[in-house]
Chains A and B, each alone.
Chain A
Amino acid sequence: AQTVTQSQPEMSVQEAETVTLSCTYDTSENNYYLFWYKQPPSRQMILVIRQEAYKQQNATENRFSVNFQKAAKSFSLKISDSQLGDTAMYFCAFMKRQTGANNLFFGTGTRLTVIP
């Protein structure tokens, strides 16, 4: 079974500063995806960034980047130049790479507050 652990229930960061959210996971699979989802107060689930486990290069999406350490089963999210709109719950998620059964396993989330 896959488990995803987010050990930081809450974090805060000053506007324009950088913050890193932590995530570890446990799996015996070799082919999988890792994701960070953002859930703002509207409750919509928004995909922030995706990493394919077979790719060594860390994924980057504008101000968002990850530090993927496969051997350590670690997948942290770095948000640069934090903006007020980044205030949200952030969920780390794991997906086994297979056709037709792409269910996600989520961590418990980190509530991020960006302080003006």
Chain B
Amino acid sequence: DSGVTQTPKHLITATGQRVTLRCSPRSGDLSVYWYQQSLDQGLQFLIQYYNGEERAKGNILERFSAQQFPDLHSELNLSSLELGDSALYFCASSSPSVTGELFFGEGSRLTVL
């Protein structure tokens, strides 16, 4: 158990819909990262938040947005969903120090029909 909690674990929805994925980082971790893993692909970095502020942005579509709340949990919002958005979405967290390790949640599997 990494200590990072993601909900829901599985989600099935239709094209054009909007979903929200939730992540609770490890206790004490200030950074939250979102990654997307399409079928049999590597993980693509989407976005990072550090103590409530956006810190780095990767290949995140304009239809996607994220935020980190004062209690440090984060939400990834995916809107106007397309078939190609079907993927495993991982959240990870890291501590404030430069330890070089990310702790991953178990992922949220999104299926768009």
Contacts and interface: CB of A to CB of B under 8 A. Distances in A.
B42 interface: yes
Contact of B42 (A99, A102, A103, A109): A109
A91 B42 contact: yes
B55 A100 contact: yes
A96 to B, nearest CB: 10
Interface residues of B, number: 29
Interface string B12-43: 00000000000000000011010100001111
Query: Which size class do A's interface residues fall under?
Result: 20 to 34
Nearest to B58: A103
Given A42-B106, A91-B43, A101-B31, 10 more contacts: A44-B104, A44-B107, A45-B90, A45-B104, A95-B100, A100-B55, A102-B102, A103-B33, A106-B45, A108-B42
